[in-house]
Amino acid sequence: MPSSWEIDIEEVEYLRHGERALMARMFKPRGNGPFPAIVEVHGGAWNLMDRTADDPVNIPLAKSGVVVAALDFRMPPIASYPASMADINYGIRWVKAHAAGFSSRADAVGLMGSSSGGHQAMLAGMRPRDPRYTALSLPAGSPAVDASVGCVVMLWPVIDPLGRYRFVRKLKDAGKPYPDFVDLLVKMHDRYWRDEETMAEGNPALALQRGERVDLPPALCVQGTSDVVHPRVDLDLFVENYRKAGGRLDLAMFEGEAEAFIIRRPGSEAATRAIGRIVEFVHQTLEKE
């Protein structure tokens, strides 16, 4: 197999809510496959950006021989939690149902997401059968597939939404001067989650602390050591508890890098190394004999 594939990029409607179409940006290697597949969930504090946001990661991943489906999903003001989780769960099942047409396999599908997308990817991977998330049915006659996945890749995730909310609220309540991101993040949390009780419920970190019965797919987390937007203490506790629960979680920390370093500085030495880790992990966990 070649180390770098030519790829085609196509926009496909994967789901419709009334008159509103939700699109998947499909990155497809040119070849017979079968290729592993990744369903990708963009960041933007649950409220912002779209399926094109993580192209700097999705393109090189696809060129390594991976089908990537980067999803749009409902966000505020259209809908708050758990609407996006229902769309993402549906998107996973949609990719599985159409896997053969994408030169992939239904048993070789994983998840990837950045920031709030990393949170949603991990939550979807842990709760593939949650009835709120499985509320949308595939069309009649579709293959019988579920939303379980073979791996999850998190890029600087908001792994504990309640912990992050309280972190930025504390900065705000202390008064100015505080970092520019504080006001935006408080507003975005409030729009998507509505209240702290919901932030605690839809929370991968607290789900583990509660002893919730969840799936534990192999996971990779990529983050910079200078990331001040995604509290390290929350991540370290999640990693510890995920491993204690019996899951594999590889942690790839990049010295001196801030949040979204791959997206902000594509082609940098750190971004290149991080993408190499992602590519290696995805192929290792999803490729079948």
User: Please, are residues 96 and 56 in contact by the beta-carbon 8 Å criterion?
Assistant: no
Distance of alpha carbon 181 from alpha carbon 258, whole angstroms? 13
Label residue 115 by pLDDT band (50, 70, 90): very high
Under 8 Å between Cβ of 72 and 49 = no
Which option is the CATH number for 7-286: 3.50.50.60, 3.40.50.2300, 3.40.50.720, 3.40.50.1820?
3.40.50.1820
pLDDT, mean of residues 217-238: 97
pLDDT value at position 53? 98
What is the percent of the chain with per-residue pLDDT over 70, rounded to a whole number? 99
Q: Which long-range contacts (CB under 8 A, 24 or more apart) does 98-104 make?
A: 99/34, 99/37, 102/26, 102/28, 102/33, 102/35, 102/37, 102/67, 102/69, 103/28, 103/29, 103/31, 103/32, 103/33, 103/34, 103/35, 103/67, 104/33, 104/34, 104/35, 104/36, 104/37, 104/67
Residues contacting residue 146 through CB under 8 Å, at least 6 positions apart:
93, 128, 129, 134
Region 218-225: what's the mean pLDDT?
Answer: 98
What band does 119 get if pLDDT is binned at 50, 70 and 90?
A: very high
Q: What is the pLDDT of residue 289?
A: 52
